[in-house]
Structure formats: C-alpha cells, structure tokens
Amino acid sequence: MSEPTAQSPRPENTLRQLEEAGALSHFASSIAHEVCNPLSQIVLATDLLAGPRPLNEDLRKKITGFLRQGADRIDKAMKQMLRACAPIETSMTPENVNTLLDDALAASGAAAAASIHVEKHYGGSLPPVLVDRQHVTEAITHVISNAIDAMMPTGGTLTLKTELKVFESSEREGWQRQSWFRAGDRAVVIEITDTGHGIEAAKMPLIFEPFYTTKPAGKGAGLGLTVAKKIVDLHYGRLEINNRREGGVRATLTLKTASHI
Amino acid sequence: MSETAATKKKILLIDDEPFITNLMAMNLEDTGRYEVREQNDSLQALDTIMDFVPDLIVLDVMMPDLDGADIIYRIKNDSRLKHIAVVFHTATVRDAELSVHGGIISGFPFLPKPATTEQMIAFIEKHLPA
Ligand SMILES: Nc1ncnc2c1ncn2[C@@H]1O[C@H](COP(=O)(O)OP(=O)(O)OP(=O)(O)O)[C@@H](O)[C@H]1O
Ligand SMILES: [Mg+2]
C-alpha cells in the first residue's frame, strides 16, 4: 500500500495549486458569506435590543427570532463544512458498477423525471470493483443529480456508459497518489454524460471546491462534487468533469478493479 | 431630536436577505435621521431607485439575478441616477472577489459585514452627499 515518499501527496503543493486556481480565496469568501450574513443579523438584532425602541411582546418575539435564525444558520454552515471535511469510514466489498449505477440513478430520481431520457450502454461481464458500496453510490448520485439539474427544466438525455479499461502506460495527476494508475492496471470506467448547459470554462477549477455553486440559495449547497471527489479519492479512483464539444458535460469515474487494489 | 421629513436623508437598502435589511431599517429609523426603504429583489432594484430617489444606496454584492456589480454599472450609466452615492455592504471584501466582478466595484467604499449600527451610521454619514 505504501508508496515511495517522492510520490506521496504533498499538501502544500496541492494548496498552492488551489490558490493559483483562485479556489482557496473562493473557499474563504464562501465561508465568509455563510457566516458573516447571519452574524450581521445577530449584531443588528442586539443593536435593536439596546436601542430606543420600546420592547413590546411583538418586538421581543421578532428579535429573538432574528437571533435564533442567525445562530441556526451559522450552526448549519459549520456542520455542512465539517461534514465535507470529515474523515469517511469505509467498508469494502466487491461490487458490480452497473448495479451501483442503477442504484444511484434510482436515488437521484432521474428515472422518474419525464423530461429526462435515460440511455444505458453498460458493458457486459465487467470485473467487480472493491468499494464501499454506500459511499460510491452516493458519489455517483451527486454526479447524476448535477447532470439532471443542468438539463432542467427543458429536459434532455442522460447517458450512462460502463466499460473495462486496461492502462497502457502509467498515469497520474500532479502529486496525488489517489489518481495514480500504472501500466497494466485494469479499471472500470463509468461515463455519465448530459445534454445540459455545461460549465463556464473559467469556473472549471472551482467545481470541486466546497460551497461552490451556481444554483439558487436553498437549492444547492455546493458540496455534491466535493463529497464525490473525496469518496473517489478514498478509493484511489479518478473523477474527471469536462465539457463536451457537442454541449453538456461528461463525468468520467475510473475505479481500479478488485484484483488491483 | 427627530428631523422633519423634508430634511431626513433617504437611504435605500438593497440586499437579498430581508432579515438584514429589516434590522438595518429599524436601527437607522430609530435615529430619527433617515427615511429608509428596503428592496430584497435585485431585479426590482432599478425601479425602486427611480421611484424613491435615495440620497445614498447601501448595496449587497452577492445576490441572485443581478449582483451588486450589475446594479452599480446600471446606476453609473444612467444620467438620472449617477449622482446617487453608493456604498457596498458585504461579507466578502477581498481582492479576488473584486477582480471577479471585473474591477467595477473596486472604486466604491465598502462596509464589511458584520457591522454594528454605530459603524453603519458613521459610514453612511461619511459618504452622504452634502
Ligand atoms: N453536469 C453539470 N452541468 C453543468 N454544471 C455542472 C454540472 N455538474 C456540476 N456543475 C456545476 O458545478 C457546481 C458545483 O456542483 P456541486 O455538485 O458541487 O454543487 P451543487 O450541485 O451546486 O450543490 P449540491 O450538490 O450541494 O446540492 C454546480 O453548482 C454547477 O454550476
Ligand atoms: Mg450537486
């Protein structure tokens, strides 16, 4: 399991890459937004309490409401953030990716959406992957949910494809051991494509960042891909998201097969 | 202490969070010095500005639909509105954030959230046109 030290993850390097992509400052400003707005509410409510306005029952209720709601919002933001950063416990079992995809599809509600046409191109007799079934299903569900969101309300086609891939040469991204594949490695590749609005090129470096969302408040927390990536990393797999030339997005999830973990 | 309606300065608060504008409005009104109006829907901000003709606008940056940069751009490109003083009230006062908005915001004064009512009043007074 242990790699030579030269290949182990280098957090400081990863941090620098994030900073260069503007992602760290995005993370900081997202947290600032999630915390400073309710904080502002709390400060202003205490000012009102200390101010000249006579404190009748109505005002008292209103102020306690402002204070409570502000505190709850900060609490929620912190819990979401901690959840996104918390370690994940895994229990690995050999699984068929086609089954995982079907479970994720059902969980995302895609099959139920009338305007979404689902196309499946599943590879036959794929070798099993050794994964935490619940977590990997969750990761795929996040990706499918994004695909559906991007196609709504007009609708579109969601294509799910699985196939076996044998690496001809070794591949890795940056310093991350997680996405390191060696020549001869066998992996199962899951492709999830949509015909939605795609992702603005300048925003690509941000999509895995916690709290990055283009969805309205209350709709998206901006944590789906953060969690999905974290789960995939835990499995030493790879999750890539790209715009398609034809429009829409292609998500590619690569997981090593059981015999290679 | 309270001033007559004619001498009260008109302040417009534009922020997508109604709780914040509501609290700011009550705190500012309690000084007896300001006539305050709130707008939580950025798409209606321009209409409200035309209608209310404020002396000063306190503007949030991150809002759905039109953000603070879009709104200031429209104000400053409208000969009827460009004299109005605008200050930003925002949680995210960062260089990175400014450049994201095409640098349009960078020339305007910022009041970081959270600000107390006292800080807010001092800031407003400093930027109100004479
Ligand atoms: N298939 C896709 N098509 C278009 N945009 C996408 C797609 N997948 C992700 N994105 C963009 O990436 C952003 C971040 O996605 P992520 O799943 O992390 O958060 P979210 O979907 O906004 O919120 P959450 O998943 O927490 O409900 C989305 O808001 C969206 O702008
Ligand atoms: Mg999502």
> Is pLDDT of A4 > 50?
no
| The ligand 1 atom nearest the CA atom of A248 | 3
Give the strand pairing for A176-181 and A156-166. Answer: unpaired
Q: What are A85-132's pLDDT values in tens digits? A: 777 788 899 999 999 999 999 999 877 788 999 999 999 989 999 999
Q: Is the pLDDT of residue A21 over 90?
A: no
Residue of B nearest to A45 (CA): B23
**Domain(s) of CATH 3.30.565.10: residues in chain A:** 93-260
pLDDT score recorded for residue A217: 62
Do A164 and A188 form a contact (C-beta atoms < 8 A)? yes
The distance of B110 to chain A (nearest Cα, Å) reads: 14
Range A120-131 burial, b when 16+ CB lie within 10 A, else e = eebeeebbebbb
Domain ranges of chain B: 9-127
pTM of the complete model beyond 0.90: no
Residues, beta carbon < 5 Å, ion ligand 2: A 146, 224
Q: Provide the pLDDT confidence category of residue B111 given band limits of 50, 70 and 90.
A: confident
- CATH topology classification for A93-260: Heat Shock Protein 90 (3.30.565)
* pLDDT at res. A22: 55
B65–chain A Cβ distance below 8 A for any pair? no
The highest-level CATH class for domain A11-85 is mainly alpha
A30 lines ligand 1 (CB under 6 A): no
- Would the CB atoms of A41 and B23 count as touching at under 8 Å? yes
Q: How confident is the model at residue A27 (pLDDT cuts 50, 70, 90)?
A: low
Every domain range in chain A assigned CATH 1.10.287: 11-85
Task: For residue B17, give the 3-state DSSP assignment.
Answer: coil
Residues of B in contact with A44 (CB under 8 A): 20, 23-24, 27, 114, 116-117
- Determine the average pLDDT of the residues in B50-58: 96
Which residue minimizes the CA distance to atom 19 of ligand 1?
A222
| A153 preceded by a cis bond (ω within 30 of 0) | yes
Q: How far apart are CA B35 and CA B56, in angstroms?
A: 11
Query: Could you say which architecture CATH assigns to the domain B9-127?
Result: 3-Layer(aba) Sandwich (3.40)
Whether the predicted pLDDT of A2 surpasses 50? no
A168 in Cβ contact with A3 (< 8 Å): no
Q: Which of A34-43, A184-193, A202-211 has the lowest mean pLDDT?
A: A202-211
Mean pLDDT over A146-168 rounds to: 94
When the pLDDT of each residue in chain A is averaged and rounded to a whole number, the result is 84
C-alpha of residue A203 to centroid of ligand 2, in Å: 15
Q: List residues bridging with B59 in a β-sheet.
A: B14, B88
The answer to whether the CB of A142 is under 6 A from ligand 1 is yes
C-alpha R_g of chain A: 22
Please state the ipTM of this predicted complex.
Answer: 0.83
Distance of CA A110 from the midpoint of ligand 1 (Å): 16
Would you say residue B11 has pLDDT above 90? Answer: yes
Encoded amino acid at B50, one letter: M
Cβ–Cβ gap A66/B23 under 8 Å: yes
